[in-house]
Amino acid sequence: MASGNPYAAELAAAKKAVTLAAKLCQTVQQDIMHSGVQAKADKSPVTVADYGSQILVGFSLKMDVSSGPFSLVAEEALDELRKDGAEEILEDITDLVNETIFDDGSYNISFTKEGILSAIDDGKSEGGPSGRHWVLDPIDGTKGFLRGDQYAIALALLDEGKVVLGVLACPNLPLSSINNINGNSSGDKVGALFSATIGCGAQVESLDGSPPQKISVCSIDNPVNASFFESYESAHSMHDLTRSIAEKLGVQAPPVRIDSQAKYGALARGDGAIYLRFPHKGYREKIWDHAGGSIVVTEAGGIVTDAAGKDLDFSKGRFLDLDTGIIATNKELMPSLLKAVQEAIKETNQAASLL
Ligand SMILES: Nc1ncnc2c1ncn2[C@@H]1O[C@H](COP(=O)(O)O)[C@@H](OP(=O)(O)O)[C@H]1O
Ligand SMILES: [Mg+2]
């Protein structure tokens, strides 16, 4: 860690919190995989893991970051747990949270069901331009989580409307470069923890605690040698549009499709050169899907913007207010990427207007 980091204490707490939550998620994902296809259609394991992860991160941050009021903007509305019929799921979450805390050994505490219920109001913050707010996606890439593929526990800190810190726990991401379409690589150690604080660079370490290594985006300046990341799910990003952008740029390699903000982490350490995300019309991006990932990329020397080349603004509450899509790459490729993006969007709009 760089000396003089004003967010050093928060960074240490954030890493500890997502590492703890990752343990809970790994337990549940292994259970889902072992219980076979049938269970995959059942939403309850992912609900338990999502809620459990959010409760653990909120609890761990509150224990370890003492200063000021606690504000958490998080994906899950845990109110469901207070409803009639939620007793079984509440019991599962309580057990899982307690087992994870016990196995980890960092905290000597055990939650009662009432304790879990009283923790559920954390996460309701709206964020905004003033003060400090933690921003959490307890399981980003839920679809990947259920498939046994990539997912991330993504946490960031907003200070006066700016992302100042981000961490991404990616339990299934190889520690070295990924080399195939599902983000897996044979025989390599998996479990990567990316982190960044403003002005202090970005690092990766193993989730089981190897020393952090500084990372930087790739230095490719010719798109012919570039590869690009995008969502595995075509419902999350328009694969036709990204194909057209890649063609215009002259990218030769096929897209690397993986779930979650693991894409930002992989981009930040140079596994690929470009990240393209173009949701279908009408979708509004949420801040927890990009806050942690974007600072990891920018602190690794990359640029993250919307399709018009504007910086992402995390100060407007729970949503990002942006133009069309999100793109990320290194400084060398950004001008030609922006040009290709704008041409491809224009052509798509023209074709749509002829229909
Ligand atoms: N129609 C849509 N378009 C774009 N993104 C969507 C979407 N529906 C869901 N998402 C978001 O895409 C995230 C996953 O991104 P990716 O495709 O990069 O894996 C989801 O996070 P969760 O899995 O946390 O819900 C969700 O927030
Ligand atoms: Mg998400």
Q: Which of 31, 233, 64 is nearest to 155 (CA)?
A: 64
Residue 180 has pLDDT above 60, yes or no: no
Residues 131-142 have pLDDT tens digits of: 999 999 999 999
Query: Does CATH place domain 8-215 in 3.30.540.10?
Result: yes
Q: Which one of the listed residues 142, 242, 298, 305 is annotated catalytic? A: 142
- Kindly report the protein residue whose alpha carbon is nearest to atom 3 of ligand 1: 236
Ligand nearest to the CA of 151: 1
Residues 70-90 have pLDDT tens digits of: 999 998 877 888 888 889 999
The predicted pLDDT at position 2 comes to 44
Amino acid at 26: Q
pTM, full prediction: 0.95
Residues 274-297 have pLDDT tens digits of: 999 999 999 999 999 999 999 999
Q: Domain 223-354, what fold?
A: D-Maltodextrin-Binding Protein; domain 2 (3.40.190)
Boundaries of CATH 3.30.540.10 in the chain? 8-215
Q: Which residues contact 28 (CB under 8 A, 6 or more apart)?
A: 45, 46, 48, 49, 52, 96
Residues 185-221 have pLDDT tens digits of: 555 799 999 999 999 999 999 999 899 999 999 999 9
Q: Is the ipTM of this complex over 0.95?
A: yes
- Binding site annotation covers 79? no
CA dist 278 and 229 (Å) reads 12
Q: Which one of the listed residues 19, 47, 50, 305 is annotated catalytic? A: 50
Boundaries of CATH 3.40.190.80 in the chain? 223-354
Q: Within 13 Å, how many C-alpha atoms sit on residue 91's CB side?
A: 4
Query: Residue 261 C-alpha to ligand 2 middle, in angstroms?
Result: 8
Sign of the CA dihedral with 257 first, then 143, 297, and 201 last: negative
Band (41; pLDDT cuts 50, 70, 90) = low
- Binding site annotation covers 140? yes
